[in-house]
Amino acid sequence: MSDRWNPSVTVAAIIEKDGRYLLIEEHTQEGLRLNNPAGHLDPGESLIEACARECLEETAHPFQPQQLVGIYQSRFHRAAKNGRPAEEITYVRFAFTGDISHPIKGQALDHGIVRVLWMTLEEVRASAASHRSPLVLKCIEDHVRGQRFPMDLIHTDLSVWNI
């Protein structure tokens, strides 16, 4: 066996305030897309740390994950384009909800982030064609249904920080 399959582990912040959900609009290879504040797990960090970091980087809002909304798996096919080969990517997403603070003034947003939006559930549903993935709406729908799991469901061994 020469190649080992490596799915991409991602985290997402599902944040609701006053009936609106926090989303970001970002440049992607597929054009402008809407997404939950989300990103990849980096070496040397826990899933919870990754989610807090990604939310801060993408929205300027400090975020403290407090409950797991769900664990999701999806597969994405990117067609060959502009000399780039086609690719298949499998994502495993851990979505969290929790408390958000006011944005930090002067905090720069990650490269590619166009703006931060607060959208009603109806607006999120109506914009599904521009979502970065079907998981954007799925995670929000699960949050609306009240799906929550305790944080002790996730264990991070100390070896993660001993790189």
Q: What is the 3-state secondary structure of 36-62?
A: CCEEECCCCCCHHHHHHHHHHHHHCCC
Q: How far, in Å, CA of 141 to CA of 144, rounded?
A: 5
Q: What is the pLDDT of residues 66-83, one digit of tens each?
A: 999 999 999 988 778 788
- Rounded average pLDDT over 31-40: 97
pTM: 0.92
Domain count, the chain: 1
Residue 117: inside a domain, yes or no?
yes
Instruction: Tell me the pLDDT tens digit for each residue of 115-132.
Output: 999 999 999 999 999 999
**pLDDT-derived band at 2, boundaries 50, 70, 90:** low
Is residue 63 a part of any domain in this protein? yes
pLDDT, position 163: 62
Is residue 29 one of the residues assigned to a domain? yes
Average pLDDT over residues 132-148: 97
Residue 158 lies in a domain: no
pLDDT digit string, tens, across residues 51-62: 999 999 999 999
Using alpha carbons only, give the angle 24, 25, 31 rounded to the nearest 5 degrees: 145
| Radius of gyration of the CA atoms of the chain, in A | 16
Q: What is the CATH number of the domain that holds 30?
A: 3.90.79.10
Please give the residue that has the higher pLDDT: either 81 or 157. 157
The residues near 36 (Cβ < 8 Å, ≥ 6 apart) are: 12, 13, 14, 21, 22, 23, 24, 95, 135, 136, 139, 140
